[in-house]
Amino acid sequence: MASIIAPIQSALRNAFPAQPTGFALPGAPVRPSFDAYAVASLVASLSQALQQMSQAWGSLAGQTPAPALSTPAPAAPVAPAAAPAPSPANKSSLEAIGRYTQATDSAGNVNATLIGGDARRTIVNSYASEFYAGTGTSDANLIAQAQDALYQDLNGNDPKARGAATFALVASRFKNAGGNYDNNQIKAVLQATDNGDLMGGTVGITDVETLGAVANAIKRGTLKLSQLYDPATGKDMLGGNSVAQADKGKYDDAIAKITSGDLNTDISGGAGEQAGNAGNAGNAGNAGNAGAGAGGNAAGLNTSSAASRKPVSNENSGGFIGGAAF
């Protein structure tokens, strides 16, 4: 530090010399009190000293002087987390779908033991895909193509398409647990929401066509899920029960399982509700009617044998006997 201060003191003395004390003798030369050259020398000395001090402080800190601060770039906005949905990993393979079609008889009954591992997931995916195709079919390739479309919608950005795919999976999960829809009431809701163009075929009678029409209406934006089912009351927009009131617990369970990506666990008990289909031991529930021409139920998970869920006339009962269709 002394080596830095000494040149500054010398430059100051040269720039501003001491004046003589007392009175000057007559005729003695007067030395000016300001020397421009010395001042310039002072400025140079000061600049050099400041540079040396900066270097000295940098050495003491163990680093070079910090550069000038700059304004940090604003952080990129964080996108909100997407709602949970089953991932493509939950899809069933073409081989598994093939076993599903082979395990389904002409009446629409499914022998789960012929499907093997992940039987419930295969049944739920396959039956939901039949809803999406709008028809019951034994063509494994057609079911697989419908499944691809379903999962593309489920994981896409269109909220209407996501709603349609979610509904198809919930409906399949619900039917597999033994839950019942009232297809005539669903038809009334579709008519009340200007979806009369979807009333062809067996809509209002069979599950595949009726629930397929619902998925179609939701996807195109002419029906909302809340118009078919109010989670608070279990009622539809007309005050009726498109979802059987006794099966509200199962339906709520089906919604919860699908939105969490669970296609495997048994929900036949249904949120404290009675299990249903009590006389059908080992049956995890009906997956619904197999569609036009089949006249049967597509997929109950029975670990022992194919349980009969063939629909009987609904003229007087308001629904298929045995909890088959609604």
Mean per-residue pLDDT over the chain, rounded: 73
Task: Choose the most confident range, by mean pLDDT, from 3-7, 25-29, 286-290, 299-303.
Answer: 3-7
Q: What is the pLDDT of residue 107?
A: 80
User: How would you classify residue 116: left for phi > 0, otherwise alpha for psi between -120 and 50, otherwise beta?
Assistant: left
Check whether 128 has a pLDDT greater than 90: yes
| Listed residue (154, 245, 228) closest to 190, CA to CA | 228
Residues 234-275: pLDDT tens digits?
A: 999 999 999 999 999 999 999 999 999 999 999 988 654 433
What's the gap between Cα 164 and its chain centre? 14
Confidence category of residue 55, pLDDT binned at 50, 70, 90: low
Q: What is the pLDDT of residue 220?
A: 96
| Domains of the chain, residue spans | 1-16+37-53, 92-259
Q: How many CB atoms sit inside 10 A of residue 57's CB?
A: 10
Q: What is the pLDDT of residue 73?
A: 65
Q: Count CA atoms closer than 13 A to 48's CA, side-chain side.
A: 13
Worst-scoring range by mean pLDDT, 23-37, 164-178, 308-322? 308-322
Q: Count CA atoms closer than 13 A to 131's CA, side-chain side.
A: 34
Distances in Å between the Cα of 6 and the Cα atoms of 13, 37, 38, 72, 321 are 11, 18, 15, 42, 110
Residues 153-177: pLDDT tens digits?
A: 999 999 999 999 999 999 999 999 9
- pLDDT over 90 percentage in the chain: 50
Nearest 5 degrees, angle CA 108-CA 115-CA 273?
65
Confidence category of residue 108, pLDDT binned at 50, 70, 90: confident
Residue carrying structure tokens 């393979």: 93
Counting other chains too, the contacts that 138-146 makes at CB distance below 8 Å and 24 or more residues apart are: 138/101, 138/104, 139/101, 140/94, 140/97, 140/98, 140/100, 140/101, 141/94, 143/97, 143/100, 143/101, 144/94, 144/97
Check whether 121 has a pLDDT greater than 70: yes
Residue type at 119 in one-letter notation: A
Residues 2-11: pLDDT tens digits?
A: 565 566 556 5
Residues 81-97: pLDDT tens digits?
A: 555 556 666 999 999 99
Confidence category of residue 44, pLDDT binned at 50, 70, 90: low
Confidence category of residue 313, pLDDT binned at 50, 70, 90: very low
Q: What is the pLDDT of residue 117?
A: 84
Check whether 180 has a pLDDT greater than 50: yes
313 against 22, higher pLDDT: 22
- pLDDT over 70 percentage in the chain: 56
| In contact, 285 and 268? CB cutoff 8 Å | yes
307 against 226, higher pLDDT: 226
Check whether 305 has a pLDDT greater than 50: no
| Listed residue (147, 131, 232, 145) closest to 186, CA to CA | 131
Q: What is the pLDDT of residue 23?
A: 41
Q: What is the pLDDT of residue 238?
A: 97
Check whether 141 has a pLDDT greater than 90: yes
Say how far apart CA 161 and CA 94 lie, in whole Å.
Answer: 23
Say how far apart CA 35 and CA 38 lie, in whole Å.
Answer: 5
